[in-house]
Chain A
Amino acid sequence: MIDIRDSSFNPWEELQTYQNNFSTKGKFGATAVFIGSMRDFNEGDDIKSMSLEHYSGMTENYLKKIIQQANVKWDLQDTMIIHRVGDIKPSDPIVLVAVWSAHRANAFDASRYIMEELKSKAPFWKKEVLEKGSRWVGKNTPG
């Protein structure tokens, strides 16, 4: 499941709801979850809020490709990506990645792979609002 949201979401509720609808209950033994949230600091500055922009169409295409590639590399039961766009505040969830697999190694490895690929390929951009002015985030921090 891939979803780009322009409003806030609760990752824990999303996970619960999604997993409750699984038709493969009993088939997975591992669930790896990554949640990225907004910090109120970056590069030594206080960050008041942030705006996230994306390239509608291309972003969805690349998220699908990343999931397809992960499924080629590992035997996975299911995957989930939710990513925010629009205006967010510190502590708001930005991204949720969840992977379900029979055993933990595949879930751990695939979730890391999906996040790193998302950060380097999926066309999203962050703009930070500081006390005075705003600035585009030039690059992501190393994983």
Chain B
Amino acid sequence: MNQANLGLFMSINVRLFASLREQFGKPDLSIEANTATNVQEVWNIISNGTSMQSNTLCAINMEYVELSHKVKDGDEVAFFPPVTGG
């Protein structure tokens, strides 16, 4: 259960899928909410400034968003490679 579910809305929960999950070595992590204002800044923090592949997709609370989209306390931000279902 993430901190948002516990009512401690002081963090942003980050989810990673597929190759990105393997790259980071973990499926999720948490950052302080006041350290990032948008999705790009969330990425910069979790990746220690490593550039993002241009085809990486982003979502906030399970909706696709652009990198410039604002983030706030309690958000679930997800990063993943192009989808390959079907």
Residues of A within 8 A of B (CB): 36, 52-55, 57-59, 61, 83, 94-95, 115, 118-127, 136-140
Given A55-B62, A55-B78, A58-B62, CB of A119 within 8 Å of CB of B18: no
Given A53-B18, A55-B15, CB of A140 within 8 Å of CB of B84: yes
Q: What are the interface flags for B31-68 relative to A under an 8 Å C-beta threshold, 1 for contact and 0 otherwise?
A: 00000000000000000000000010101001110000
Please report the total number of B residues contacting A with Cβ < 8 Å: 18
Instruction: Determine the distance from Cα of A119 to Cα of B86 in the docked complex, in whole angstroms.
Output: 6
A83, A94, A122, A125: most-surrounded residue (chain B CB, <10 A)? A125
Instruction: Determine the distance from Cα of A136 to Cα of B39 in the docked complex, in whole angstroms.
Output: 24
What number of A-B contacts does a CB cutoff of 8 Å give?
A: 74
Contact at B85–A126, with CB atoms within 8 Å? yes
Nearest A residue to B22 by beta-carbon distance? A136
Contact at B17–A118, with CB atoms within 8 Å? no
Q: List 8 A-B contacts (CB under 8 A).
A: A55-B62, A55-B80, A83-B85, A115-B86, A118-B85, A125-B83, A125-B85, A136-B19
Nearest B residue to A54 by beta-carbon distance? B85
Question: What residues of chain B lie closer than 8 Å to A115, measured between beta carbons?
Answer: 86
Question: What residues of chain B lie closer than 8 Å to A61, measured between beta carbons?
Answer: 62
Nearest B residue to A84 by beta-carbon distance? B85
Instruction: Determine the distance from Cα of A123 to Cα of B18 in the docked complex, in whole angstroms.
Output: 10
